[in-house]
């Protein structure tokens, strides 16, 4: 999963390592040459008399002043690196990162990472790497990997909360409404959530608030029957808010733990349907509103998440088809852009193919 993005991050690590190590090799050669010059000067000085020693001392002072002047002309970065190398360490400078960071930015954008997110990752990397000193025994690649982990976690972990803890602590029944555009796997995700909750000891009822689409009742009913769940549904054209409200009343009367409410798939540009979503939010006042979209939709999914959050504030997201997404742009971007976390990844068509989204686990997989 997200193998394409993983390869791009690995390329960045290799680019920085090659750039920094090439510069270190140049400085190592310069250091060896300097030591050879010092040895040669020492041999000459050993053959001279006391008067020559005085002259040599004068010449040495002049040479030292000249060397210091040359180092100053190279700038503080070069002087810092030379001093670090003399003590057995290497300093990463801006020139080591310039080309690798540019390549990484292009790679992130090609992976459908939202531009503001890509810039945040690059800024974090610059602050964590430029001027960083490492011992020669350490690996530049390891240093870069640590910086990548920190930068990625900063953008992926935004708003993260423990979904199971939220369900456990909430007053029952817990009402969860699912939103999103047509055809992204929203209804199937609801069925997967019913199984996920059942595996953790929670009962659930399904409420079909998708009263616009012909065949919507039949689709969700097939899932309900396969899972042994009760379905609350009205006729096509009914009030979606009323359907989900009825689901809540059924749950209260029958000690059901969770109400899973479906809604009509809608484009974020459809003002009438978005207004209906706002009504559901007012009438039902759900405990959680979860946005569903495809991981493979990339930046489109990120933009839609923002629009749905504006219409009826979402609490988190589920990204379907994550197993088919090699880029990972949506998974990287949604939380940072909306301030709301990715909670689950859909990884197949089976009812058990719903995986809790763990930012640390994902970053560990991406960076290695």
Residue 168 reports pLDDT greater than 80? yes
Residue 112 marked in a binding site: no
> Which of 349, 193, 311 is CA-nearest to residue 262?
193
Q: Burial code of 167-205, b = ≥16 C-beta within 10 A, e = fewer? A: beeeebbbbbbbbbbeebbbbbbbbbbbbbbbeeebbbb
262 is in an annotated binding site: yes
Question: What average pLDDT does this structure show over 76-89?
Answer: 47
In this predicted structure, what is the pLDDT of residue 319? 96
pLDDT tier, 89 (very low <50, low <70, confident <90, very high otherwise): low
324 falls in which pLDDT band (50, 70, 90)?
A: very high
Is the pLDDT at 316 greater than 90? The verdict is: yes
Q: Is 180 annotated as a binding residue?
A: yes
Average pLDDT over the chain, rounded to an integer: 82
Q: Where in the chain is the domain with CATH 1.20.120.140?
A: 1-24+84-157
Least confident of 44-58, 94-108, 112-126, 338-352: 44-58
Question: Is position 183 annotated in a ligand binding site?
Answer: yes
Q: What is the pLDDT of residue 132?
A: 63
Surface-to-core class of residue 89, CB atoms within 10 Å of its CB (0-12 exposed, 13-18 middle, 19+ buried): middle
Q: How far apart are CA 200 and CA 162, in angstroms?
A: 14
Number of other CB atoms surrounding residue 31 within 10 Å: 13
User: How far is 149 from 366, CA to CA, in rounded Å?
Assistant: 9
Question: Does 13 carry a binding-site annotation?
Answer: no
The per-residue pLDDT for 329 is: 92
- Is residue 363 part of an annotated ligand binding site? no
pLDDT value, residue 302: 92
**347: phi then psi, degrees, rounded to nearest 5:** -125, 20
Taking 80 as the threshold, does the pLDDT of residue 291 lie above it? yes
Q: How confident is the model at residue 135 (pLDDT cuts 50, 70, 90)?
A: low
Scanning the structure block, which residue is given the tokens 């990972």? 328
Give start-end residues of each CATH 3.40.50.300 domain in the chain: 163-358
CA 280, CA 138: separation in Å to the nearest integer? 57
CA separation for the pair 177, 113 (Å, rounded): 27
pLDDT band of residue 278 (cuts 50, 70, 90) is: confident
Mean pLDDT computed over 67-74: 46
- Residue 20 confidence (pLDDT) above 80: no
Going 106 to 109 to 115 to 117, the CA torsion angle's sign is negative
Give the pLDDT of residue 333.
94
Distance CA 113, CA 337 (A): 11
| pLDDT recorded at residue 269 | 53
Q: What is the DSSP secondary structure assignment for residue 171, as one 8-state letter? A: P
Region 48-73: mean pLDDT is 48
Per CATH, the number for 1-24+84-157 is 1.20.120.140
Which helix (DSSP H) or strand (DSSP E) does residue 363 occupy?
helix 359-367
Report d(CA 75, CA 73) in Å as an integer: 5
Residue 25 pLDDT more than 80? no
Nearest-angstrom CA–CA distance, 260 and 320: 17
User: What's the pLDDT score for residue 63?
Assistant: 47
279 is in an annotated binding site: no
The answer to whether 181 is a known ligand-binding residue is yes
Residue 40 labeled ligand binder: no
- Is 103 known as a binding-site position? no
pLDDT for the residue numbered 43: 55
144 is in an annotated binding site: no
DSSP strand pairing (288-294 vs 174-179): parallel
In whole angstroms, give the CA distance from residue 357 to residue 312: 23
3-state DSSP: the chain helix, strand, coil percent, rounded to 5?
60, 15, 25
> Known binder of ligand: residue 182?
yes
The answer to the question of whether 350 is labelled as a binding residue is no
Measured between alpha carbons, how far is 368 from 365 in angstroms, rounded to an integer? 5
Q: What does pTM read for this prediction? A: 0.80
**Dihedral angle sign, alpha carbons of residues 252, 255, 257, 261:** negative
Q: How far apart are CA 64 and CA 58, in angstroms?
A: 10
257 annotated among ligand-binding-site residues: no
Q: What pLDDT score does 69 carry? A: 47
Question: Residue 246 has what pLDDT?
Answer: 96
Other Cβ atoms closer than 10 A to 314: 24
The residue-averaged pLDDT of 81-85 equals 46
CATH ID of 163-358, from 1.20.120.1200, 3.40.50.300, 3.30.460.80, 3.30.450.20: 3.40.50.300
> Does the annotation place 185 within a ligand binding site?
yes
The answer to the question of whether 321 is labelled as a binding residue is: yes
229 is in an annotated binding site: no
Of 45 and 196, more confident: 196
- Across the range 54-82, mean pLDDT stands at 48
Lowest mean pLDDT among 158-162, 204-208, 281-285: 281-285
Question: Poorest-confidence range of 74-83, 144-153, 212-221, 222-231?
Answer: 74-83
Per-residue pLDDT at 137: 43
């Amino acid at each position: 999963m997200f193998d394409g993005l993983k390869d791009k991050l690995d390329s960045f690590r290799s680019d920085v390592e090659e750039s920094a190590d090439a510069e270190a090799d140049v400085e190592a050669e310069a250091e060896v040459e300097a030591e050879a010059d010092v040895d040669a000067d020492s041999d000459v000085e050993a053959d001279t008399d006391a008067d020559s020693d005085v002259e040599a001392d004068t010449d040495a002072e002049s040479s030292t002043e000249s060397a210091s002047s040359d180092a100053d002309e190279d700038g503080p970065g070069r002087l810092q690196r030379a001093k670090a190398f003399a003590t057995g360490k290497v300093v990463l400078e801006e020139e080591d990162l310039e080309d690798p960071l540019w390549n990484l930015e292009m790679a992130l954008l090609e992976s459908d990472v939202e531009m503001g997110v890509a810039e945040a990752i690059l800024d974090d990397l610059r602050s964590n790497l430029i001027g960083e000193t490492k011992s020669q025994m350490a690996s530049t690649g390891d240093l870069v990997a640590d910086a990548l982990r920190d930068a990625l976690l900063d953008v992926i972990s935004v708003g993260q909360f423990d979904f199971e803890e939220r369900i456990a602590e909430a007053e029952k029944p817990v009402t969860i409404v699912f939103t999103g555009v047509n055809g992204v796997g929203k209804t199937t995700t609801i069925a997967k959530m019913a199984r996920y909750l059942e595996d953790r000891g929670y009962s659930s009822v399904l409420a079909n608030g998708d009263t616009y689409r012909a065949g919507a009742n039949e689709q969700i009913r097939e899932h309900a029957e396969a899972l042994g769940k009760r379905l609350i549904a009205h006729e096509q054209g009914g009030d979606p808010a009323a359907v989900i409200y009825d689901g809540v009343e059924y749950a209260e009367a029958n000690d059901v733990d969770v109400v899973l409410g479906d809604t009509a798939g809608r484009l974020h540009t459809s003002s009438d349907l978005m207004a209906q979503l706002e009504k559901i939010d007012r009438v039902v006042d759900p405990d959680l509103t979860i946005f569903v979209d495809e991981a493979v939709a990339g930046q489109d999914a990120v933009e839609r998440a923002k629009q749905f959050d504006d219409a009826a504030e979402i609490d988190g997201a589920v990204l379907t088809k994550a197993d088919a997404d090699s880029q990972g742009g949506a998974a990287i971007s949604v939380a940072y852009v909306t301030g709301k976390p990715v909670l689950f990844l859909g990884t197949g068509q089976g009812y058990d193919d719903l995986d809790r989204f763990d930012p640390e686990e994902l970053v560990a997989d991406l960076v290695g």
